[in-house]
Chain A
Amino acid sequence: MLKSFKIYWPFASNQIKANFAYKGSFYLYMLRKFFGMFIYYYLWMAIYASSTSDVLGGFTKNEMIMYVFMSYTISDIIMINISSDIGRDVVDGNVAMNLIKPINYRMSLVFRAFGIMIYKLVMPSLFIWVGLEIFKVTKLGMSVSNPVTILAFFISMFLSFLIYVFFDYCFGMLAFVTTYIFGMTIIKNAMLSFLTGRLIPISFFPAVVQKIFSFLPFTAMTYVPVMIYLGKYTGEQILLELGKQLIWAILLFLIGGFLWKKVEKRIVILGG
């Protein structure tokens, strides 16, 4: 375990360094993220202003504000695309190079994503969080999150990261079938924004749909950590949700391994 961590850690640290090198594009990226968040912030403000009741889908206005910002930030941190890397490797034949090296292709991808996640966690998100906490306590008059909640939240977020990356690895296997990964990525992002509850909290859906969603891995991606952070889950329920996340991570890991075995046989590399 420790040994493999030592082997693959350079993949992560490389990504951290590379990301720190391009600060300019990073600030623009942040600006763009803020635009996206603020559209929904204003939409929800208008929605609550037009509503006769104070609580919509189980959320008060203040909770909804926190929900919007948190789910955006979290999905930004954990949703690191490795499928586009796979797509590129397949198109230009790099996959072959990875097959002859004595390393596990998936592990190297996961660690690369891990590096990016650490970078995103440290750079923008910490600042956003501190800002959000201050905003939450001073402006919204909500209480400071307690340490246990925060700990559970971080564990949950790490599991979310694993679920997403393992899922995206499975998704990336499509690169062996079609080369139009750009189009596939648009489909994936649109589906995920919906299924993970980033666009609108799961509690807004009809009961039947909620039931179906609870059997899919997507709510375990961003919805669970946000709900833990907001204090919507308590005691046992937190443990239950964390357990579900763990099961999904393991399941998707196994599926990914199975799919790789399937496509490995299909690989055709031109030239060398």
Chain B
Amino acid sequence: MKSLRRYLRLYRIFAVQYIKTMMQSKIDFFIGLGGFLISQGAGIAFLYLVFEQIPSMKDWSFEQMLFIYGFAQIPRGIDHLLTDNLWMVSWQMVIRGTFDKYMLRPMNLFFQIVCEKIQMDALGELLIGMILVARAVSNGTVEITPLKVIFFVISVLAGAVIYTSVKLFFAALAFWVKDSSPFLTTAYEMADFAKYPIEIYSKPIQIILMTVLPFAFVAYIPSTFFLVNRNVLTTVGAECAIAVIFWLISYALFQRGLVRYESAGN
């Protein structure tokens, strides 16, 4: 408990420092925010134009598709906001040896990496996600009950953990291959599949999305609980189980990687 308080305090200090550096160039913040807003907007406009032509896709209506799309953005945004610094591990820190600095401090290493950066660009994704979910609630695509709200929060958090786990796993590969960013980018690209119902993909892709890179669980599978009342255990429950399993695997790999880490010399 005491250490938790210590870490929270440390996080606040780091966050404040980071925000100070951000304030130096406010325009960058708006550029980043605008960038992600526009990319999301393009995705939504695509759906809109397509649904001008067809009534529904594989039994999903336009409004339902928008909910899935928006719902997928929220865990992604949370992960993007908080753990973006893992990218630096994957493509710079291990090669250049700058990872050394973390080894010297008496703090949890994962915490140190993560707290160094808050990626404000992610607010674009979060904003779009929340707007789309709010829209779905207001027009009755999903009905809200207290229980659903609780499960929604759980599901979003578990989804963010899945994202972070996948990111940590591929970032940790850098301890072996030095620069793992091509692998990480490739894995991350798979997350784009999660924005649409996975039934539209062929079987092999569906299997990949449910096992090796479990992005089906971050949005589509739990959203069936909210949209068509599928069993909560096989949707949100499965999502939580996947989140825990993948986190344990990734964190274990990260720990093994740390043992292998050798500095770059000088």
Contacts and interface: CB of A to CB of B under 8 A. Distances in A.
A28 interface: yes
Contacts of A42: 200-202, 205
Interface residues of A, number: 39
A36 B189 contact: yes
Given A25-B182, A190-B38, A178 B53 contact: no
B34 A187 contact: yes
A49 B183 CA distance: 34
Contacts, number: 101
A28 B186 contact: yes
Interface in B170-221: 182-183, 185-186, 189-190, 192-193, 196, 200-202, 205
Nearest to B183: A28
A50 B47 CA distance: 14
Interface string A163-204: 000000000000000111011111101110110000110001
Main secondary structure of the interface of A (DSSP, over half): helix
Interface in B217-253: none
A215 interface: no
A180 B28 contact: yes
Given A32-B189, A194-B45, A50 B31 contact: no
14 contacts: A29-B182, A39-B193, A51-B54, A178-B28, A179-B25, A180-B27, A180-B31, A183-B35, A186-B32, A190-B41, A190-B42, A199-B46, A200-B46, A200-B49
Interface string A43-63: 101110111100011000000
A184 B35 contact: yes
Nearest to B51: A47
A38 B36 contact: no
Contacts of B39: 186, 189-190
A129 interface: no
Given A39-B196, A51-B54, A186-B38, 18 more contacts: A25-B182, A31-B186, A35-B186, A35-B192, A35-B193, A36-B189, A36-B192, A43-B196, A47-B57, A178-B25, A183-B31, A183-B34, A186-B39, A187-B35, A191-B38, A193-B42, A194-B42, A204-B53
B50 interface: yes
A52 B57 CA distance: 11
B56 interface: yes
Contacts of A184: 31, 35
B50 A178 contact: no
A191 B46 CA distance: 12
A24 B179 CA distance: 12
Contacts of B53: 47, 51, 56-57, 204
B32 A183 contact: yes
Interface of B: 25, 27-28, 31-32, 34-36, 38-39, 41-42, 45-46, 49-50, 52-58, 121, 182-183, 185-186, 189-190, 192-193, 196, 200-202, 205
A102 B35 CA distance: 37
B28 A32 contact: no
A218 B7 CA distance: 50
Nearest to A22: B182
Interface in A4-45: 24-25, 28-29, 31-32, 35-36, 38-39, 42-43, 45
Contacts of B57: 46-47, 50
A50 B192 contact: no
B25 A45 contact: no
B27 A50 contact: no
Contacts of B49: 200, 204-205
Contacts of B202: 42
A1 B144 CA distance: 69
Contacts of B196: 39, 43
